[in-house]
Every structure is written in C-alpha cells, then in structure tokens.
Chains A and B, each alone.
Chain A
Amino acid sequence: MKKLLILSGKGGTGKTTVAAAFIDFLNAEAFADCDVDAPNLHLVAGMHTQPERWDYYGSQKASIDPAKCIGCGVCLEKCRFDAISLRGGVCEVNEYACEGCSVCWYVCPQSAVTMNEDIAGEQMLYRDGRVFSTAKLKMGRGNSGKLVTEVKKALYNAAPEKKLAIIDGSPGVGCPVIASVSGVDLVLIVAEPSLSGIHDMERILKTTGILRAKAAVCVNKYDTCTENTEAIEEYCRENNVPFAGRIPFDKQASAAINAGHSLAAVECPARDALKNVFKDVMTLLGESDRAEN
C-alpha cells in the first residue's frame, strides 16, 4: 500500500480541506485522520455507517493509597514530572502530569503506590467498502504519537489489499507528526503565504528532511499574498522540493465544509486548482494513471 500524508506545520492552512478533496478525486478506499488532538476529517468524509469503537490505553497512571501513605515525600522528591504533591499529610498524584514512569511505585517504602491502566482516548474504524481510521485523544493526555501509530496500524490491518491510502496529519513538528511520517511514501505540505506560514513550512520541511521522508509543497489561499507565494516557490526551487501548485482563496471552501462535504463536487476555481495539485501529487507518487478519472 502506498501512503500519502498531508501536513502543514502551521495549523489552519487547509490540510483537511485538501485531504477530503483528494479522497473524493481518488475515490479513495483507505484513509485516516492522524490529527488525534483535533480530528476533523470525519465531519466531511461522508461515511454513513456507524464505526467500530474501542478504547486506547496510553501510559499507565500512578495512584497513591492514602491509608498506606505516611507522607514521607520520597516519591515527590524523585518524580521528575512534578506530578506529586503533599496534601493533608499524604501524597497525591496529578493524573495530567503523571507520565507513568513508575519511579514513585519503585521508591515508596510503604508500597502505597499502584500503577493503573489509563484510557487515554478512543479509536474508531468505519467500513462501508471503504475503510476510514480515526481517533480522539482524551483531554490533556500525552503520548499522542503512540495513538497516531495505532490509527495507522488499524487502517493497514483493515485494508491490506488497498493500493493507496490518504492520511490527514496534525499541525506542528513534534510527537504526533514524527509518528505520522514513518513509513509514508510522500508528504504533501499545505503552506500558506503568510509570515508564520512560511516560517512553519521551513520547519516542517527540515523535519521531514531529518526523517528522510520525500516531501512536496502546495500553497493554499495563494492570492492572499502573491509575494509570499513567490517566496515559497523560490524556497522550494532552491531546496529541490517539488512544487505541486497554487490554490486560490475561495469562500466556497468553507461553505462546502460547513455543509459537511468536500470541495471535490463544487464547481469553483479552488476545486479546479486542487484537481491540478492532485494530478501532480499522483505523478510524484508514480500513480499518474489514477489522476485520469
């Protein structure tokens, strides 16, 4: 299975808008939303079946039995995550700060600490001939990279025979992004011609470079600042990053999203531009025959 991942560095540049349109252009049979912090693809993916759901267990969480704790504070002193505080003579764990390392469990002279499994999110798998894997991380939980890996695994296991998968990624350059990049054939970066957009595109391109992943760039809302769009294209030329095209700002885009579908079916300039970006990306993936339907 070939995998196309869509990233951006900066948030809100249009990753999901691009991903949803590509899914429709391709009639994709396998796709995933790896933005487990703020998933949105399900809002426009047009799946009408109920998903299969299961819990995602992240890192364990410590808990301290107040009946056994003597308030000696050894755990508090050894905890590197400031997750333990002394209140009313006994120690207690802040579940949001606890990373589940179990150092407190190890050092407690009273055996007052237990390590417990923790539900850190929920995974969902939709099937209606197509397969769509997505997940939602619980508030304030860490380890989002591990959940991203699980979302991809669920997709690959459910659709091993599909030839091409589209994966919507998360903003940033950290944990979930690094997990999403592993094993993909191409990363399409959706850039935005703003000062922040350029800066963040450079950071995500350097990150995919460190991870040795192949990347291409397209610019969304290019006409909001053509000078910056040219600067992005120039950067791509200088750094040998394939440039896959420009998409104009189009009010139809948010109207389509608010109505719950992708831009693919709406006759408008942004749709036509996206179709051209799609063709270029399929060529880069060595799948140019797929672009001709």
Chain B
Amino acid sequence: MKLAVLSGKGGTGKTFVSVNLAAAAVQSAYIDCDVEEPNGRLFLKPEKLTKQVVNTKLPVFDSEKCTGCRKCVDFCRFNALVYVKDKPMVFPEVCHSCGGCVLVCPTGAISETDKPVGVVECGQNGDIRVVTGCMNLGEAISTPIIKAALAQAGEADGLTVIDCPPGSACSVMESVQDADYCLLVAEPTAFGLHNFKMVYELVTLLQKPCGVIINKADDGYPALEGFCESNGIPVLCRIPYSEKLARLGANGEIAALADREYADLFQCLLADIRKEAQL
C-alpha cells in the first residue's frame, strides 16, 4: 500500500506521523518528498547510504553554428533565454528543461548539458528502506527531485509511506499522484483548519480516499471536527501533546520504537488505515 501523508499547513507533524508509521509496519519504505526540507532521515538515521545525483537539462549554444535568428529566445515560454552581445544566453534558475529551444533551432546550434539540482539518498534502518530527496540550495524547481525519489521506492511488499511537502501546489500533486490512500495531518487551530480545507480539496480532486489524524489535540477545535463530520472524513486518531513525545523528538528518537504506548498507537492506526483503504 502506498500511503501519502500531507497537511497543507507546515509543522503539523507530517514527518512525525510518517516515520512512526514506517517504524510500526513490518516491512516498509519511507520516501521523503519534502525535498526542500527533508527531515525524516534525522529520525530514521539510515545506514549503508548510496547517493544518486538528480540532473536536469540546460541548453548550451555553439557560437559557430548560431546565426543569431533568435527563434529559441522567442519560443521560450519561461523567459529563460535572452539575446545579448550577439549570442543567446540562458538563466539556469528559470529554465524548465523542456527542450523546446533545441527543437526550434534551425542550425542545430543548441545541445544540452546536465545540471545537478539535488540528490536522492537511499539507505536502510533495519527493515525500513529510507529514501530522501534533497534539493540543492538556491534551486527553485523541486518536481524533478520528487520524481527521482519516488522512482527509488522499489517494490516494497509492505507499506510505502510518502512524506509530502507542505502546501497544495504542484510539488504536493506530484507526491500524491500514485498514492492509494491519503492521510491528512491536521492541527486544531484556525490556521490549521484553513490549510486543511485546501489540502482536502486537492485529494478530493484527485479522487483519493483519505482520513485524518488530529495532532496536538489537547484543547479541541470544534470547527475542525465539524468540518470532518459534515464531509464524512473519518478521524482515525487524535494525538494529544505530551512532554514524553517532545523529549523523544528533541533527541531524534522514534516514539513507536522507543515507547510501548506509541508502538501500540501507530500499529492500531496502521490497521485502521488498511481497513479504510481496503488494502
């Protein structure tokens, strides 16, 4: 089963839920698709790491062959090309690597070179396969790294947990595309609810089955529970704030491995998700 964990708002506990579910399963893969800020590895501490560089394509210009017709500059929809001092030039950070300029050049003056934009790290923590996508700093476009990370998921028989980026933009869409079930981690605050509604709209649009975990659920927030109830979204679990959890987290420990009570909680949650997803 492929399980995507998402939230809309940042900091609600996506990574906390993801690593604990991966740890509670018998055999699992954990894929960190929050490539701008990948943090699952801080807790899962994978060993036997292998790294793969993720490249995108960038155009290079052969000045001998270039006649200065500017067809490439006119074609580029991303304004990534300019024509200065009698030659075309590319702004690498806005280039989408579509290859259009290569196609339109009438003299074959444009070829492509690899440009590294991030890395995908694969490793193991016991039975858990840990895959981390990490975008290079200063890069803007995260989807190629997310695609490369998801491609490393392998054919896990058990559970694949996809830890998604925050928000509800293209990077989230890319991360949940192949998921069988979406787990939404919500926070009982006005900000949490507002962003939760946005991400709920996204999974509805993709027609994915979903359920909710309410994290830091101490005081309750009736508006959130009400929204779930009136939309028929199952609330699978409520996790109250606890000093024990905060301490385990600060030490980089995984609650489901370090503590019996949380091991039970996440195993039950996983069983409930399987029942809901019918997988």
Contacts and interface: CB of A to CB of B under 8 A. Distances in A.
Interface stretch (B58-66, B120-128, B161-169, B262-270): B161-169
B249 A195 contact: yes
Contacts of B190: 40, 43-44, 257-258, 260
A103 B98 contact: yes
A13 interface: yes
A70 interface: no
B258 interface: no
A43 B100 contact: no
B99 A106 contact: no
Contacts of B100: 101-103, 106
Contact of B138 (A16, A194, A196, A210): A210
Most buried by A among B9, B37, B195, B250: B37
Interface string B232-262: 0000000000000010011010000000000
Given A12-B9, A140-B172, A38 B166 contact: yes
Contacts, number: 170
Interface in B64-79: 75, 77-78
A199 B39 contact: yes
A141 B201 CA distance: 13
Nearest to B201: A139
A172 B166 contact: yes
B170 A141 contact: yes
A220 B198 CA distance: 26
A43 B10 contact: no
Interface in A206-221: 206-207, 210-211
Nearest to B7: A11
Interface stretch (A173-181, A237-245, A277-285): A173-181
B42 A80 contact: no
Interface string A86-127: 000000000010011111001100000000000000000000
Contacts of A178: 93, 138, 140
B137 to A, nearest CB: 5
B140 A145 contact: yes
A81 B100 CA distance: 12
A228 interface: yes
A59 B141 CA distance: 14
A53 interface: no
Given A139-B202, A139-B205, A173-B36, A16 B168 contact: no
Top 4 A-B pairs, shortest CB-CB distance: A11-B10, A12-B11, A37-B167, A101-B98
Interface of A: 8-13, 16, 37-38, 40, 43-44, 59-60, 78, 80-81, 96, 99-103, 106-107, 137, 139-142, 144-145, 170-175, 177-178, 192-196, 199-200, 203, 206-207, 210-211, 224-225, 227-228, 251, 254, 257-258, 260
25 contacts: A10-B10, A11-B11, A11-B166, A12-B12, A13-B10, A37-B167, A44-B190, A99-B98, A106-B75, A106-B103, A106-B104, A139-B168, A139-B205, A140-B169, A173-B137, A174-B36, A174-B135, A175-B141, A193-B250, A194-B250, A199-B42, A203-B36, A203-B37, A251-B219, A258-B190
